[in-house]
Structure formats: C-alpha cells, structure tokens
Amino acid sequence: MRKILLLSLFVVLLFAGKIRYEHWKQGQTLLGFLDAHGINAKLYYNLDGEDKELASEIRAGVKFIADYNGTQLLQALIPINEELQIHIFRKNGGYALDLIPIHYQKIHDKFGLAIHSSPYNAIVHNTKNLRLAHEFVAAFKHTVDFTRLHKGDKIAAIYDQKVRLGDFFGMPTLYAAMVQRDKRRYFVFNFEERFYDEKGQELERFLLVRPIPGARITSRFTLKRWHPVLHRYRAHLGVDFGARRGTPIRASGNGRVVFCGRKGGYGNCIIIDHGQGYKTLYAHMSRFRHGMRRGKHVKQGQIIGYVGSTGLSTGPHLHFGLYKNNRAINPLRVVRIAKSRLSGKKLRKFKKIVAKYKKELIECAKRECKPIVIEKVEQSSCQLQGGENAKG
C-alpha cells in the first residue's frame, strides 16, 4: 500500500503564537466571530456586498486555523470554498481582512480493489476517504445494483483529491470508474462535469429547470477569479438572474425545504434539498410564497417566492446557488431539459477520454493497484500569511 507523508502544519511560523485547529460552528457568522475576538465590527461592515455575501458561504464544521498570542487572535484562515479563504490578520495595531487562495496539495491517483462486502466499504477501508466512496457509489447509482455484487467482483477508479492540513479537502474529482461483475464491465466517464457511459449517453437523472424561465443572466458562477482592477481575488458562488421585483421564483426540482428565512447577505432565502447530495439556494427574495416553511415538500416548477433585493443587493434579482455534497458547483452545467447524448465534436472529444482511461481501469482492476494513503506528520509550527511582522 502506497503512502504519502503530509505535514499537517506546513512551514515555520514567522512569529511566536499558539496555533489551533478549530471548526466553524453551526449558526456561526463572520460578524459573530469578529465580535467574539474583540475585533471592531467595521472590519465586516467595510466589506463590499459581494464579500459579505461570500462570508455567508462558510460551512458549519469546516476546519480552519487560528493563531493566538495568549487569548488574543493574531490571525485566522477560514475557507469559504475549495479555492478561497478569508484571511484575518493584525495590521497597524488593528485588524485587516482579505481573500486569498487556499494552498493545498492535489493527488492524482487510482485504485483497483476486490470487493469483500460492498464497494463503499472497500473504498473506505483502502483509502480512508469517505467522500471518494460516496462519489463512486453515486456515479453508478442508475446503472449498477450494488446489492447484486459478489465477493471477488472488482472496482476501479481514476481520480484527483485535494489534501489540506494533512486531511482530505473538498470533494474528489472522479475522472473514470469501472465495476466488474462476473465477466461484465460497467464504465462511467466524467465529461464536462457530467457522467456518461462509454457510448456517450448521460447517466445522471437529476434534472433542474431555471427558477425564472427566460430571465437574463447578469452574473455567472466562478470559484476564484483575480480582479485586474481591484487586485484581489473574487468569487461568485452562483448565478444571478435579473428580473423585476415581484417576479415569481420557481423550485428548480422536487425536494424538501431545509431553510426558509433570513440568511446574512442573502437576505430572504430558501434552500431546497433535492436528494442525491444536491441542494439549491434562492436568495434576495422580496417575500416567500404563503405556506413556505422548513420541512415543506415542493415540486419542480412550484412557486416558492418572489424576486426582490433583500440582504446585500444593489437591485432586484435572484441569486441562484447549486450545491453537490455541500460544494458549490456551476448551476448552468446541471440545469437542462433532459439527459443528453453526446454527438459531433463533443462525442469525438469524449471518445479520446474513453480511450485514455478504459484500458487503464481494466489493468488497474486486474492488478488490484493500491491507492495512496495519507499519514499525518504533526508539527508544532505553521506559516500563516501576513501579520504584523510579515509583508503584505
């Protein structure tokens, strides 16, 4: 079994301090975090609307670094998504805040495993990576009945995984996977963030429709973008649809309302759980449709609220977010009318991907190649960027 040694604390501190690994609490806000550490609330209120909206994206349970001198916070690194993090640090006797890229290691790996009980258990046992196991099982959800697999059947996958602070970070990117049952093989291939069989037929059956049919797009999705004028990183974890105040907003798919209320910079907001790890977010509503509440089941196309400009908004519009396993993804890659079958240039490009990975999967399963396993090496020091004694 291959192993990789990772420093969970990656370089030496530029100043003396006590490093803590902490987890963002359920219901915790950036404003509350600043207040708890005696930091002037102006640091938050001086942020522009887009950055305040991003602060609403910090997920409960996310692991972040805080550096203390006694009880005084010197600086903190708090991930917003898989690419950007909030950096709070001491500067000129006070505090400053910036958005900076997250530093992580990306591992490209593969595995070929024999099943003893289930594919999920085999992956977890050999990789210790729960999210990889979940992603693998989800990819075959509509093509393979895992209850019919037998001991000795094979599975294989080729994937990337980010590693941060000695732990798996974010969702893996599954490029290709295979299940071999008896002598029959089933394949899935990732093409433009969707899964297809080897003939180019889309496998996933999760369908979304636009929440405001015909509305123009005023801002598109991006995880990390360097702003050439502001000279800083920006992100927009959703798609904005411009529409008149009061325009009906419709549920993009069947599901259950898991949040209905005010949500920081998002203002009046509804979050719907559609199952299969998917959730949609609808923000800046003027009001909710009567009867909308947490726990209510809604159908695709059902009106759930109306366009407004509540929260941090410069005018009437809908901010529409899509999350898969709590990771923000581009809604426009999922919103569609029906499953697609590749053709033309896309099919030719896809066939090159199949040719690249199919033989490798078969060989990997045959040899039962082992994946990388992370071993943490705990260190007592770490570099946090910036700070009173550091540049920038």
Q: Tens digits of per-residue pLDDT, 310-319?
A: 988 889 999 9
Give the start-to-end residue ranges of the domains of the chain: 3-102, 105-205+340-376, 216-333
At residue 194, the pLDDT reads 84
In this structure, CATH architecture of domain 3-102: Roll (3.10)
Lowest mean per-residue pLDDT among 61-65, 157-161, 224-228, 270-274? 224-228
Task: Tell me the pLDDT of the chain averaged across its residues.
Answer: 85
Task: Please state, in angstroms and rounded to a whole number, the distance separating the CA atoms of residues 176 and 354.
Answer: 8
Of 284, 346, 273, 337, the residue nearest 310 (C-alpha): 284
Lowest mean per-residue pLDDT among 111-120, 142-151, 171-180, 226-235? 226-235
Instruction: Enter the DSSP assignment of 93.
Output: T
Same CATH topology for 3-102 and 105-205+340-376: the answer is: yes
Domain 216-333 belongs in CATH node 2.70.70.10: yes
Instruction: Enter the DSSP assignment of 59.
Output: P
pLDDT in tens, 175-231: 999 999 988 999 999 998 889 999 998 876 566 788 998 899 998 898 876 655 567
286 vs 208, more confident: 286
- Which uninterrupted H or E stretch holds 300? none
Mean pLDDT, residues 127-145 taken together: 91
Domain 105-205+340-376 belongs in CATH node 3.10.450.350: yes
Task: Please state, in angstroms and rounded to a whole number, the distance separating the CA atoms of residues 326 and 315.
Answer: 28
387 vs 328, more confident: 328
Q: Is the pTM of this model over 0.85?
A: no
Instruction: Name the residue type at position 121.
Output: N
Mean pLDDT, residues 316-341 taken together: 80
Residue 12 banded pLDDT, cuts 50, 70, 90:
very low
Nearest 5 degrees, angle CA 291-CA 294-CA 298? 65
94 vs 234, more confident: 94
Helix segments in the chain, DSSP class H: 30-36, 42-45, 49-55, 119-127, 130-139, 344-367
At residue 227, the pLDDT reads 59
pLDDT in tens, 19-47: 888 999 988 999 999 999 999 999 998 88
- Rg of the chain on CA atoms, in Å: 23
The strand ranges marked E within 34-153 are 63-69, 72-79, 84-91, 94-101, 105-114
